[in-house]
Chains A and B, each alone.
Chain A
């Protein structure tokens, strides 16, 4: 199959690669770019493990072709922590036991990062509805919901502190 050249910025780094038009974005991230933090769980858009942030929206990388990401920006789980410092969300996942095997975690972190940015005041029910796009078979979701709630609460508090 004919190859196509694409340019994608991932976590701030530019990748210029030749890909088959049928290559999934998830496979591109993992196999071509070596970013194995994005996981593949179902390849039909239900489990949410492969979620990444494409430009400014959380998307299922298993439902997008790599060529569709041409000339666009992607944030993956590897791009969250800066200089070894976990984000507030990541820290709260740790504090609240929001992960066990960790396989679904990358996708949930990406979806939640995008969600918190767009809905900084979200309540528990909205958090659960956002999480309904993700399957976790370890935690029963309790720690995950708490981690997102806590992050929203802490963000609100730090905004208040800035304002005073």
Chain B
């Protein structure tokens, strides 16, 4: 049988999804007497709650309960979070509201229509407080305070020094610096949050069905908040999740909120978030201000980097934040060989929606200033940006490459990837055309971005938020454990259970491919169970779907579990055939002796023996075929005393080249061509790979051009519908050329690295570089996003050179 891994096989998920048989959160049915919940939300960005009168709402026919923060608080402690600032975060406002959309009360009713009717009858008296939304102003000593007991708005603050940073700057020929702002935007899955929670008082146990995809360390956070042992909090994740891209990790506060309402009301409770709730009050990416400066030699070589990164984590810092600051810690210097690095990392709280995981998490925020600065270096040194990249990019012979902050880039050939982008995108030719076009008043630009795509997070990285002294007092955290279970039933068919809670990435397909290859059976004979149940699945704190960890970790767990099964079957066959297991081979459902293929034992018979005739098994062997493997990569040590940390398991590479034209009449940015070169190690299923890349790129282009969760200066939320929050649709997608290189990872057994987030990280800055390049004759620099026509229009209007140029042309 030919190998399935590495081939673009069709997905096993598709038939059910194409025929309306997917089982998403809202499709799984509810127990009798389930109440439907609707949530009353704050219309104020910052206010004291003076009173809540629920009496009229309670009188509405069909309403079962109206529950406020004061009641919820009786059944829980604030959620814990990995920083020392004593922020008290409950899933519903208590005493005070801190962002528009924050839950204030929950109505439980016979159906959602009635529940929403009753919301209108709740009377809340607020006393408005001064709001704060600006990142830098929130740090000032007289800024309005969100959490009085914390004493400031700062939730986390750390500094790091690697190498000889001051020396690098002293010896530099140029110091080039700028401030960049990456805005708040989101991932916007088409399916919103969905939760079904039930409390059983006889067992003091909560069962929560939710489209939550981990990391399952948050299960422990939830259990702790509820004050119960982990085994009293059963979380069941349906096999189908309608997209997430990180955002559904933020469902956890609602899971606890709904669980407690179930306890108070004495019935199961279901809540499907609506779109306005999702936009205003689910979770989002983190907006960041970065002050970045580079020590640069005449040649364009960057010898040192200083970054001050200020993340706005919204009204409450909550798990896994402040991880956005640290997820990319090991790859802070990106694709470049920069040995000296200073980082100041601050997480501040403002009157905006709290943040969390999102596709690219930390990457777009890091690479936006870094790759913009590299282009600025070229501009100030009057060099071609491509030559500055060539000067700095990590060379092939340097792999495995150790970064300043402790990362180990496992494999790659970045120069080759970059040159492939230059060649595919016809860079030199474009430069020539650009000169000609400029003479005709046309505005063309080309942008480059080279990024390192981390995948498979080291669970120790978040502890970098604490000082080495603070870390020393608790258990070190390391690893990136993932589990899979492969079993064979008495009829010889295979079940695989995974704990990677897929939301469209095709984990079922790739798991089936791996099993087919290892056990030599057709893919369609493999049943993959993607539903996760914390009471019955094999899982660990790192389990779930985030940091592109399936290709690096989930697939490895499946691979090794399959090998455990194979090894057991070989031992059974060897015992029956009276040979050594090492003499055996497996092909087409048959186990045979390598040197004597006539001497064989069928796979089915080996499985059958384990179930039907266990007394014929080798001495000491357990009956049945049921093997679980917990995998962790070994290169994920806890941070050391110098704060060195390899924050991810594998590191892929993406090199983008994008060309744009800006319409002088409308200031609209049109992408002419988007070239993206990827090296994600061994590709497990090229069809799925390209799908992931297209999706990640669409999200990246959304961030570059359209998407923003906007607030006015008073903290009022402005983008509560799809008329205001613009997602790219089919006509907005440009022509895209994807090319692959495959430098296998030496870390993972299949040589695969994660992917799917790379272009979400790279596209915002690639486009910003292209637009900056286009506007460079007018001395316009892009230092924030999204690059909407009205934003570009304002820049052009402010540019004296452009205005003169226009007059001359007119």
- Which chain A residues have a beta carbon within 8 Å of chain B's beta carbons? 20, 22-23, 30, 35-44, 46-47, 49, 76-78, 80-81, 86, 90, 93-95, 97, 99-106, 109, 125, 127-129, 131-145
Binds A, one of B39-47, B183-191, B337-345, B440-448: B183-191
A-B contact pairs, 21 of them (CB 8 A): A22-B113, A35-B20, A40-B272, A80-B18, A86-B19, A93-B18, A94-B11, A94-B14, A97-B688, A101-B17, A101-B189, A104-B190, A106-B20, A109-B18, A125-B731, A133-B729, A138-B504, A138-B691, A139-B694, A140-B698, A142-B690
Q: Is there contact, CB below 8 Å, between B727 and A140?
A: no
Nearest 3 interchain pairs by C-beta: A37-B20, A103-B242, A101-B504
Q: Is there contact, CB below 8 Å, between A140 and B697?
A: yes
Q: Which residue of A lies closest to B701 (CB)?
A: A140
Flag B46-58 by CB within 8 Å of A: 1 or 0 each. Answer: 0000000000000
Flag B228-258 by CB within 8 Å of A: 1 or 0 each. Answer: 0000000000001111010000000000000
Q: Within 8 Å of chain A (Cβ to Cβ): is B122? A: no
Contact of B698 among A40, A42, A77, A137 (CB under 8 A): A137
A47-B19 contact, Cβ under 8 Å, with A102-B504, A139-B694: no
Q: Within 8 Å of chain A (Cβ to Cβ): is B789? A: no
Determine the distance from Cα of A42 to Cα of B463 in the docked complex, in whole angstroms: 38
Residue numbers in A under 8 Å from B18 (CB-CB)? 77, 80-81, 86, 90, 93-94, 99, 102, 105, 109
Instruction: Provide the main secondary structure of the chain A interface.
Output: loop
CB distance from A24 to the nearest CB of B (A): 9
Residue numbers in A under 8 Å from B695 (CB-CB)? 100, 137-140
Determine the distance from Cα of A143 to Cα of B506 in the docked complex, in whole angstroms: 15
Residue numbers in A under 8 Å from B191 (CB-CB)? 39, 41, 101, 103
Binds A, one of B21-29, B72-80, B605-613, B657-665: B21-29
Flag B6-21 by CB within 8 Å of A: 1 or 0 each. Answer: 0000110111011111
Q: Within 8 Å of chain A (Cβ to Cβ): is B505? A: yes
Q: Is there contact, CB below 8 Å, between B240 and A101?
A: yes
Residue numbers in A under 8 Å from B275 (CB-CB)? 41-44, 47
CB distance from B29 to the nearest CB of A (A): 9
Flag B680-695 by CB within 8 Å of A: 1 or 0 each. Answer: 0000000110111111
Q: Is there contact, CB below 8 Å, between A99 and B729?
A: no
Q: Which residue of B lies closest to A20 (CB)?
A: B113
Contact of A103 among B189, B691, B721, B731 (CB under 8 A): B189
Q: Within 8 Å of chain A (Cβ to Cβ): is B722? A: yes
Residue numbers in A under 8 Å from B242 (CB-CB)? 39, 41, 101-104
Residue among B191, B506, B688, B699 with most chain A CB within 10 A:
B191
Q: Within 8 Å of chain A (Cβ to Cβ): is B801? A: no
Q: Within 8 Å of chain A (Cβ to Cβ): is B730? A: yes
CB distance from A28 to the nearest CB of B (A): 12
Q: Is there contact, CB below 8 Å, between A143 and B19?
A: no
Total interface residues in chain B, CB < 8 Å: 54
Residue among A129, A132, A134, A141 with most chain B CB within 10 A:
A141
CB within 8 Å of A: which of B486-521? Answer: 503-506
Q: Is there contact, CB below 8 Å, between A97 and B11?
A: yes
Determine the distance from Cα of A73 to Cα of B722 in the docked complex, in whole angstroms: 29
Count A-B contacts at CB 8 Å.
177
Determine the distance from Cα of A49 to Cα of B22 in the docked complex, in whole angstroms: 14
Q: Is there contact, CB below 8 Å, between A77 and B19?
A: yes
Residue numbers in A under 8 Å from B27 (CB-CB)? 36
Determine the distance from Cα of A70 to Cα of B642 in the docked complex, in whole angstroms: 71
Instruction: Provide the main secondary structure of the chain B interface.
Output: loop
Q: Within 8 Å of chain A (Cβ to Cβ): is B736? A: yes
CB distance from A150 to the nearest CB of B (A): 14
Determine the distance from Cα of A46 to Cα of B687 in the docked complex, in whole angstroms: 29
CB distance from B361 to the nearest CB of A (A): 16
New A-B contacts (15) at CB < 8 Å, excluding given A97-B688, A100-B243: A37-B19, A39-B242, A41-B242, A43-B275, A100-B692, A101-B240, A104-B242, A105-B17, A128-B733, A131-B731, A132-B730, A135-B729, A136-B190, A140-B691, A142-B691
Q: Which residue of A lies closest to B759 (CB)?
A: A140
Q: Which residue of B lies closest to A142 (CB)?
A: B694
Determine the distance from Cα of A96 to Cα of B729 in the docked complex, in whole angstroms: 18
Contact of B10 among A23, A94, A101 (CB under 8 A): A94
Q: Which residue of B lies closest to A47 (CB)?
A: B190
CB distance from A161 to the nearest CB of B (A): 25
Residue numbers in B under 8 Å from A106 (CB-CB)? 20
CB distance from A75 to the nearest CB of B (A): 11
Residue among A42, A80, A97, A106 with most chain B CB within 10 A:
A97
Q: Which residue of A lies closest to B192 (CB)?
A: A41
Residue numbers in B under 8 Å from A40 (CB-CB)? 26, 272
Q: Is there contact, CB below 8 Å, between B722 and A141?
A: no
Q: Within 8 Å of chain A (Cβ to Cβ): is B472? A: no
Determine the distance from Cα of A135 to Cα of B189 in the docked complex, in whole angstroms: 9
Residue numbers in B under 8 Å from A129 (CB-CB)? 730-731
Q: Which residue of B lies closest to A90 (CB)?
A: B18
Determine the distance from Cα of A78 to Cα of B21 in the docked complex, in whole angstroms: 8
Q: Within 8 Å of chain A (Cβ to Cβ): is B470? A: no
Determine the distance from Cα of A100 to Cα of B503 in the docked complex, in whole angstroms: 8
Determine the distance from Cα of A23 to Cα of B111 in the docked complex, in whole angstroms: 11
Determine the distance from Cα of A154 to Cα of B245 in the docked complex, in whole angstroms: 34
CB distance from B87 to the nearest CB of A (A): 31
Q: Within 8 Å of chain A (Cβ to Cβ): is B723? A: yes
Q: Is there contact, CB below 8 Å, between A44 and B240?
A: no
Contact of A145 among B26, B241, B727, B730 (CB under 8 A): B730
Q: Within 8 Å of chain A (Cβ to Cβ): is B800? A: no
Q: Which residue of A lies closest to B28 (CB)?
A: A36
CB distance from A41 to the nearest CB of B (A): 4
Q: Is there contact, CB below 8 Å, between B503 and A141?
A: no
Q: Which residue of B lies closest to A94 (CB)?
A: B14
Flag B348-385 by CB within 8 Å of A: 1 or 0 each. Answer: 00000000000000000000000000000000000000
Residue numbers in A under 8 Å from B13 (CB-CB)? 102
Q: Which residue of B lies closest to A130 (CB)?
A: B730
Determine the distance from Cα of A135 to Cα of B725 in the docked complex, in whole angstroms: 12
Q: Is there contact, CB below 8 Å, between A100 and B691?
A: yes
A78-B722 contact, Cβ under 8 Å, with A41-B275, A100-B504, A140-B733: no
Q: Is there contact, CB below 8 Å, between A30 and B241?
A: no
Q: Is there contact, CB below 8 Å, between A102 and B730?
A: no
Q: Is there contact, CB below 8 Å, between A42 and B722?
A: yes
Determine the distance from Cα of A140 to Cα of B24 in the docked complex, in whole angstroms: 21
Q: Is there contact, CB below 8 Å, between A37 and B21?
A: yes
Q: Is there contact, CB below 8 Å, between A100 and B731?
A: no
A100-B505 contact, Cβ under 8 Å, with A41-B192, A142-B733: yes
Residue among A109, A131, A138 with most chain B CB within 10 A:
A138
A99-B694 contact, Cβ under 8 Å, with A39-B191, A46-B721, A132-B730: no
Determine the distance from Cα of A144 to Cα of B695 in the docked complex, in whole angstroms: 12
Q: Which residue of B lies closest to A108 (CB)?
A: B730
Residue numbers in A under 8 Å from B423 (CB-CB)? none
Determine the distance from Cα of A94 to Cα of B14 in the docked complex, in whole angstroms: 6
Residue numbers in B under 8 Å from A135 (CB-CB)? 188, 190, 722, 727, 729
Q: Is there contact, CB below 8 Å, between B17 and A140?
A: no
Determine the distance from Cα of A22 to Cα of B242 in the docked complex, in whole angstroms: 27
Contact of A44 among B21, B22, B692, B722 (CB under 8 A): B722
Residue numbers in A under 8 Å from B14 (CB-CB)? 93-94, 99, 102
Q: Is there contact, CB below 8 Å, between B731 and A46?
A: no
Contact of A137 among B10, B20, B245, B690 (CB under 8 A): B245
Residue numbers in A under 8 Å from B580 (CB-CB)? none
Contact of A90 among B19, B503, B699, B721 (CB under 8 A): B19
A141-B691 contact, Cβ under 8 Å, with A94-B10, A104-B190: no
Residue numbers in A under 8 Å from B274 (CB-CB)? 43
Q: Is there contact, CB below 8 Å, between B729 and A134?
A: yes
Q: Is there contact, CB below 8 Å, between A140 and B731?
A: no
Contact of A49 among B190, B690, B691, B723 (CB under 8 A): B190
Determine the distance from Cα of A141 to Cα of B701 in the docked complex, in whole angstroms: 13
Q: Which residue of A lies closest to B729 (CB)?
A: A132
Flag B281-319 by CB within 8 Å of A: 1 or 0 each. Answer: 000000000000000000000000000000000000000
Q: Which residue of B lies closest to A80 (CB)?
A: B19
